[in-house]
Amino acid sequence: MSTFADKHILITGGASGIGLQMAKHIARKKATTLSLWDINKDALEGARGELNGFQTSIQTRIVDIGNAEQIYSAAKDLIKNIGSVDILINNAGIVVGGPFEQQSREQIDQGIRINLLGAMHVCRAFLPDMKQRQSGHIVNIASAAGLMPNPNMSVYAGSKWGMIGWSESLRIELERKSTGINVTTVQPSYIKTGMFEGVKPPLLTPFLEKDDIADRIIQAVEANKIHLRAPFMVKLIPFLKGILPQKAFDFIAGKLFQVYQSMDTFKGRKSTQ
């Protein structure tokens, strides 16, 4: 069982959305230090204000998760200041909707840098210290979009498919070497944070409330769960893909549950980590 009490926690993309919501849950559990990284200075200041009432020490830093140099520099400073990171939550991410051919080179590169490469570099920066201590927990916030195709979010889906493959491979590497480090991969459907503004949720798959999914993530970490998939219909995706021919799966997902139409009315917000 992992515990947040008396631990040092880092959340990337921690100034808003489920990042901030998780921070509130963790602060209530009396973590020693809670570090929030985000690219948005104003949001970080607002988050600090919301968390000031807790006993947990709050540290904030402007970090562009799409910039590897900033990641390693910030990680070096953080380890120097607090000594270690016990629980790392890779939460930072962006979404750009629309047909793939309409995505600019910059949008494609940014999506992969932040959603996938950024998480890898953040993890790589803290992993040696965790291995030396033979203790730690890495939480990678992927997506249900990493389990199945979804038109008009191809770059995002690609980055999350990559994150799931990397996260699972990392978990097995660490288990085989008996490092004492746990890895939890989170695969939620659409979350009501503004990031997916305009999306029409699929049948039987309502928007997840950010407080609810944040609470589920915290509980999954405490229980050392390997996966967290939510809501319930997301849990069925690997099973259905395993037993159905692809065209049959496409019919059920696209025609019956309207998954493939969910991004057609996407508006989103311009930029967030």
Q: What is the DSSP string of 213-227?
A: HHHHHHHHHHTT-SE
Give the largest CA-CA distance in the chain. Answer: 54
Q: What is the DSSP string of 171-204?
A: HHHHHHTT--EEEEEEEE--BSSSTTTT--PPTT
188 strand-pairing partners: 230
- For residue 231, whether the previous peptide bond is cis, meaning omega lies within 30 degrees of 0, is yes
3-class DSSP state of 11: strand
The number of C-alpha atoms within 13 Å of 221 and in the hemisphere containing its C-beta is 25
What phi and psi, each to the nearest 5 degrees, are found at residue 37?
-110, 135
- Cβ 115 vs Cβ 159: under 8 Å: yes
CA angle 56, 72, 33 (to 5 degrees): 5
260 is catalytic: no
Known catalytic residues?
156
